[in-house]
């Protein structure tokens, strides 16, 4: 075993939808995995190991996906690992898979993440009736809306900015054939007039519930040389976490996110992310998280992220496109949402993104977060071998 | 529930019925069960797998449906002396692996053999179907020794649609144990007192007390009283209706920094139009009537504005 560079040579995803009643969960993950293998022009037998991730168990009631899905993923007789970090799981699953390549343990690894939200109810899963307290939880929006309000208050941001992100990501989604939400004629008025769900978060400022899966084939330097299509190279990868509750915790701008970004930039030798990164796929389940993460990731100073969004810089065609795929706001199979960010970043530097391709994309950031903003996973991928 | 050591316990049930899409292969099998037919699937290697799966052990997609059984042979078994609530039979029975005629794999099901003495490996068995079938593995009530009379199978309605969905109920019964520090906090609620835990190192007061400081990693056994009033650090107005909602929306969910605590708690604010809620608003606990007080945060019904001037931003800035 010896250390090697890791490259992405196969990427596959499903057409994300509200309900894929035509397939089982096994059929859904198989679809994404088969597309990743086809992209890499590899067969199931070429894969050395499988690394799988999914949403928290209550979300869809599948407790042991590594057991249930081993056959569908051709994992018989091979190592199969399951990764579990709440909403960031798609990102950290890809990172665990990449690390088994970088360490020289495996040569070709299939990594897969999925969720079939139509079989369950995330609002139920996130609002348990816990003993010893009144019913205080109200889904993910109930948790994150107060943080969004705190951000708006702290940064003095105009209400329009959240709506701009909601429009921008849905406009991008119209260029992505895999995106779930395709809202023709989406504009600020449509977002403004949509119902308030968790005030200050409107319906059209939230992510949908999707059925979908994402898969990638990761390989070493020899595998990258043999790849029929240009590989995306991993320039840096990192995960960080922090406790969900401690005195003085900055939940709007979490330390773990800042630390994770610093680490991944150092590995990729990025001095100024605003200059050195061509685009980013960020985990933005509620529109206001775009400016929040722009600050947390060092693309803008604290309190200034919304100005970047407002200026149009984060639109496709802007100087720092954010979520050209349409992002989590357009497709949200939760367990796969993080991996989709990582995969879309890789598609961009492979010049594979079709209509939502960012011209000349050389380096891209894939980002995922999860839990109560306590898990972070990031990778930087590039067109050139680092 | 009270334990001798004063630690609180309470039952906690997680219960939900997932709605599974079957996919084409499992759907065909369940449709067959509803129609009183047993089917397997042919694998790429030519073997017949029962019950069918979409992919074989080599990772290849499986193919055509193959009729099997209805009779089969027990390949191994275990006797259940005391059936449980979820079991298919109320009388003692065997769990058995049954290789149906024409199949290359054995499937798990129940055998109603009457007595353990009647069970053996190699026993020939035949299905006993339920009269009312829905497209579930339970349509096959159990197997019975082949020499016993088998229930007749009614023909299915000709145009019944294929099974594509099945309900998957999950129920988990837990006993939640609050632990020593949380129990102290909850018991104080019964006396309309709010008790925090102070870290000896950083002096931060945690609410509820945790027994250890998450930043310093040291035991934090000291308890201190915290006021039942404080400042709203942030909030949201819940306008989305959902099953577990405590009130019909809209209502205001807040983070409140109680005087004397270093961490906000989450609760609700009433007694104000939702649109009037503000960051920095001063609020006070409204306790339930004395006879309803108990060891729970629900002893605080909600918070209400005190009417005092709002706190300035600096006071809440570090607690967002
Ligand atoms: Zn401390």
Q: What is the mean pLDDT of residues A375-386?
A: 97
Residue B125 lies in a domain: yes
- pLDDT in the model for residue B278: 94
| Residue A14 near residue A32 (C-beta atoms within 8 A) | yes
Q: What is the mean pLDDT of residues A313-317?
A: 97
Most confident of A137-141, A177-181, B68-72, B262-266: A177-181
- pLDDT in the model for residue B240: 87
Chain A environment of B186 (Cβ under 8 Å): 132
- pLDDT in the model for residue A135: 77
- pLDDT in the model for residue A83: 96
- pLDDT in the model for residue B158: 55
Q: Do B218 and B158 belong together in one domain?
A: no
- The domain total for chain B is 2
The last residue of a domain, from among B120, B138, B163: B163
Q: What is the mean pLDDT of residues A33-59?
A: 96
Kindly determine whether residue A132 and residue B236, on different chains, have CB atoms separated by under 8 Å: no
Q: Do B179 and B314 belong together in one domain?
A: yes
Q: Do B182 and B314 belong together in one domain?
A: yes
The last residue of a domain, from among B128, B163, B198: B163
Residues of chain B with pLDDT > 70: what percent?
Answer: 95
- pLDDT in the model for residue B267: 93
Residue A200 lies in a domain: no
Q: Do B283 and B249 belong together in one domain?
A: yes
Q: Do B210 and B239 belong together in one domain?
A: yes
Chain A environment of B215 (Cβ under 8 Å): 243, 246-247
pLDDT, tens digit (0-9, with 9 covering 90-100), for B6-43: 899 999 999 999 999 999 999 999 999 999 999 999 99
Complex ipTM, two decimals?
0.90
Residue B287 lies in a domain: yes
Residue A232 lies in a domain: no
* pTM for the structure as a whole: 0.94
Residue B318 has pLDDT above 80, yes or no: no
Q: Which domain holds residue B130?
A: 23-163
Residue B14 lies in a domain: no
Q: Where residue A190 falls among pLDDT bands split at 50, 70, 90?
A: very high
Residue A52 lies in a domain: yes
- pLDDT in the model for residue B157: 52
Residue A1 has pLDDT above 60, yes or no: no
Kindly determine whether residue B55 and residue A26, on different chains, have CB atoms separated by under 8 Å: yes
Residue B83 has pLDDT above 60, yes or no: yes
Q: Where residue B153 falls among pLDDT bands split at 50, 70, 90?
A: low
Kindly determine whether residue B23 and residue A200, on different chains, have CB atoms separated by under 8 Å: no
Residue B151 has pLDDT above 60, yes or no: no
Q: Do B91 and B223 belong together in one domain?
A: no
Residue B147 has pLDDT above 70, yes or no: yes
- pLDDT in the model for residue A275: 96
- Please identify among residues 108-167 of chain A the ones whose CB lies closer than 8 Å to any CB of chain B: 116, 118-121, 123-125, 127-139, 141-142, 145-150, 153-154
Residue A323 has pLDDT above 90, yes or no: yes
Q: What is the mean pLDDT of residues A184-212?
A: 96
Q: Do B206 and B151 belong together in one domain?
A: no
Kindly determine whether residue B18 and residue A60, on different chains, have CB atoms separated by under 8 Å: yes
Residue B152 has pLDDT above 60, yes or no: no
- From CA A145, how far away is CA A289, in angstroms rounded? 10
**Between A2 and B236, the higher pLDDT residue:** B236
- From CA A211, how far away is CA A21, in angstroms rounded? 9
pLDDT, tens digit (0-9, with 9 covering 90-100), for B164-200: 999 999 999 999 999 999 999 999 999 999 999 999 9
**Between A244 and A48, the higher pLDDT residue:** A48
CATH number (domain holding residue A103)? 3.40.47.10
Q: What is the mean pLDDT of residues B271-295?
A: 95
Residue A259 lies in a domain: no
Q: Do B223 and B141 belong together in one domain?
A: no
Q: Do B60 and B128 belong together in one domain?
A: yes
Q: What is the mean pLDDT of residues B243-268?
A: 91
Q: What is the mean pLDDT of residues B264-289?
A: 95
Residue B102 has pLDDT above 80, yes or no: yes
- pLDDT in the model for residue B17: 94
Residue B4 lies in a domain: no
Task: Pick the residue from chain B with its C-alpha nearest to A61.
Answer: B18
- pLDDT in the model for residue B247: 83
- pLDDT in the model for residue A195: 96
Give me chain B's average pLDDT, please.
92
Q: Do B123 and B193 belong together in one domain?
A: no
Q: What is the mean pLDDT of residues A210-235?
A: 97
Q: What is the mean pLDDT of residues A85-113?
A: 97
Nearest-by-Cβ selection for A24 from B22, B206, B233: B22
Chain B environment of A202 (Cβ under 8 Å): none
Nearest-by-Cβ selection for B176 from A131, A134, A148: A131
Q: Do B213 and B159 belong together in one domain?
A: no
- In the reported structure, the alpha carbon of residue B179 is separated from the centroid of ligand 1 by a whole-number distance in angstroms of 20
The last residue of a domain, from among B163, B198, B215: B163
Residue A101 lies in a domain: yes
- pLDDT in the model for residue A133: 84
Task: Pick the residue from chain A with its C-alpha nearest to B165.
Answer: A21
A271 touches chain B (CB under 8 A): no
Over chain A, what HEC string results?
Answer: CCCCCCEEEEEEECCCECCCCCCCHHHHHHHHHHHHHHHHCCCHHHCCEEEEEECCHHHHCCCCHHHHCCCCCCCCCCCEEEECECECHHHHHHHHHHHHHHCCCCCEEEEEEEEEHHHCCHHHHCCCCCCCCCCCCCHHHHHHHHHHHHHHHHHCCCCHHHHHHHHHHHHHHCCCCCCCCCCCCCCHHHHHCCCEEEECEEHHHECCCCEEEEEEEEECHHHHHCCCCCCEEEEEEEEEECCCCCCCCCCCCCHHHHHHHHHHHHHCCCCCHHHHCCEEECCCCECCHHHHHHHHCCCCCCCCHHHHHHCCCCCCCCCCCECCCCCCCCCCCHHHHHHHHHHHHHHHHCCCCHHHCCCCCCEEEEEEEECCCCEEEEEEEECCCC
Q: Do B158 and B30 belong together in one domain?
A: yes
- In the reported structure, the alpha carbon of residue B220 is separated from the centroid of ligand 1 by a whole-number distance in angstroms of 8
- The domain total for chain A is 1
- pLDDT in the model for residue B150: 53
Residue B148 has pLDDT above 80, yes or no: no
Residue A342 lies in a domain: no
Residue B17 lies in a domain: no
Residue A78 lies in a domain: yes
A200 touches chain B (CB under 8 A): yes
- In the reported structure, the alpha carbon of residue A325 is separated from the centroid of ligand 1 by a whole-number distance in angstroms of 43
Q: What is the mean pLDDT of residues A321-349?
A: 98
Q: What is the mean pLDDT of residues A43-59?
A: 94
- pLDDT in the model for residue B304: 97
Residue A19 lies in a domain: yes
- pLDDT in the model for residue A236: 98
Residue B295 lies in a domain: yes
Nearest-by-Cβ selection for A150 from B214, B234, B237: B234
Q: Which domain holds residue A215?
A: 7-122+209-225
A107 touches chain B (CB under 8 A): no
B268 touches chain A (CB under 8 A): yes
pLDDT, tens digit (0-9, with 9 covering 90-100), for B195-246: 999 999 999 999 999 899 999 999 998 999 999 999 999 999 999 888 777 8
- pLDDT in the model for residue A60: 87
- pLDDT in the model for residue A192: 97
Q: What is the mean pLDDT of residues A223-236?
A: 97
Residue B91 lies in a domain: yes
């Amino acid at each position: 075993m010896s250390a090697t560079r890791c490259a992405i040579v196969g990427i596959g995803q499903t057409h994300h939808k509200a309900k894929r009643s035509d397939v089982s969960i096994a059929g859904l993950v198989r679809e994404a995995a088969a597309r990743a293998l086809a992209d890499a022009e590899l067969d199931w037998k070429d894969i050395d190991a499988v690394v799988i991730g999914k949403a928290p168990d209550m979300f869809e009631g599948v407790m042991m996906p590594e057991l249930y899905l081993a056959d569908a993923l051709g994992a018989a007789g091979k190592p199969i690992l399951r990764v579990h970090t709440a909403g960031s799981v798609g990102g950290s699953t890809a990172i665990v898979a990449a690390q088994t390549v970088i360490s020289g343990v495996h040569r070709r690894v299939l990594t897969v993440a999925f969720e079939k939200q139509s079989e369950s109810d995330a609002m139920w899963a996130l609002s348990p009736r816990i003993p010893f307290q009144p019913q205080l939880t109200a889904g993910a929006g109930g948790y994150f809306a107060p943080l969004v309000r705190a951000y708006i208050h702290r940064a003095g941001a105009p209400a329009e900015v959240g709506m701009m992100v909601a429009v921008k990501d849905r406009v991008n989604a119209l260029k992505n054939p895999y995106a779930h939400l395709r809202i023709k004629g989406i504009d600020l008025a449509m977002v403004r007039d949509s119902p308030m769900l968790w005030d200050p978060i409107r319906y059209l400022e939230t992510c949908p519930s999707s059925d979908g899966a994402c898969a990638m084939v990761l390989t070493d330097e020899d595998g990258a040389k043999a790849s029929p299509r240009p590989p995306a190279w991993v320039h840096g990868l990192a995960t960080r976490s922090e406790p969900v509750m401690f005195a003085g915790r900055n939940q709007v701008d979490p330390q773990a996110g800042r630390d994770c970004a610093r680490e991944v930039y150092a590995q990729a030798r990025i001095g100024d992310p605003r200059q050195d990164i061509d685009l980013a796929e960020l985990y933005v389940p509620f529109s206001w998280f775009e400016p929040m993460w722009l600050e947390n990731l060092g693309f803008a100073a604290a309190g200034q992220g919304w100005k970047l969004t407002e200026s149009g810089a984060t639109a496709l065609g802007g100087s720092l496109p954010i979520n050209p795929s349409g992002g989590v706001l357009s497709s949200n199979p939760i367990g796969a949402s993080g991996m989709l960010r990582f995969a879309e970043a890789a598609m961009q530097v492979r010049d594979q993104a079709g209509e939502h391709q960012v011209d000349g994309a050389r380096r891209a950031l894939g980002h995922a977060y999860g839990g109560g903003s306590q898990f972070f996973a990031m990778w930087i991928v590039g067109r050139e071998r680092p | 529930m009270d334990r001798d050591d004063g630690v609180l316990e309470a039952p906690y049930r997680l219960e939900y019925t997932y709605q599974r899409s079957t996919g084409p292969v499992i759907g065909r099998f369940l449709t067959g069960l509803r129609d009183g037919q047993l089917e397997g699937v042919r694998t790429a290697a030519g073997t017949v797998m029962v019950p069918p799966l979409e992919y074989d052990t080599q990772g290849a997609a499986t193919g055509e449906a193959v009729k099997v059984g209805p009779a089969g042979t027990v390949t191994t078994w275990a006797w259940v002396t005391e059936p449980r609530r979820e079991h298919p039979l109320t009388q003692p029975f065997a769990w058995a692996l049954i290789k149906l005629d024409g199949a290359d794999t054995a499937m798990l099901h129940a055998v109603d053999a009457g007595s353990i003495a009647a069970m053996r490996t190699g026993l020939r068995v035949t299905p006993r179907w339920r009269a009312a079938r829905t497209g579930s593995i339970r349509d096959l009530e159990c197997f019975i020794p082949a020499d016993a009379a088998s229930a007749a199978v009614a023909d299915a309605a000709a145009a019944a649609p294929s099974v594509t969905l099945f309900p998957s109920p999950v129920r988990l019964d837990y006993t939640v144990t609050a632990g020593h520090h949380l129990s102290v906090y909850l018991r104080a609620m019964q006396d309309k007192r709010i008790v925090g835990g102070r870290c000896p190192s950083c002096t931060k007061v945690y609410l509820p007390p945790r027994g250890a400081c998450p930043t310093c990693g040291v035991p934090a056994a000291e308890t201190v009283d915290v006021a039942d009033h404080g400042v709203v650090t942030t909030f949201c107005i819940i306008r989305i209706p959902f099953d577990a909602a405590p009130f019909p929306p809209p209502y205001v969910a807040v983070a409140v920094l109680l005087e004397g605590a270093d961490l906000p708690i989450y609760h609700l604010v009433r007694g104000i139009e939702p649109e009037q809620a503000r960051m920095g608003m001063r609020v006070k606990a409204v306790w339930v009537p004395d006879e309803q007080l108990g060891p729970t945060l629900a002893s605080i019904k909600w918070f209400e504005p005190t009417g005092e001037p709002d706190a300035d931003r600096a006071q809440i800035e570090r607690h967002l």
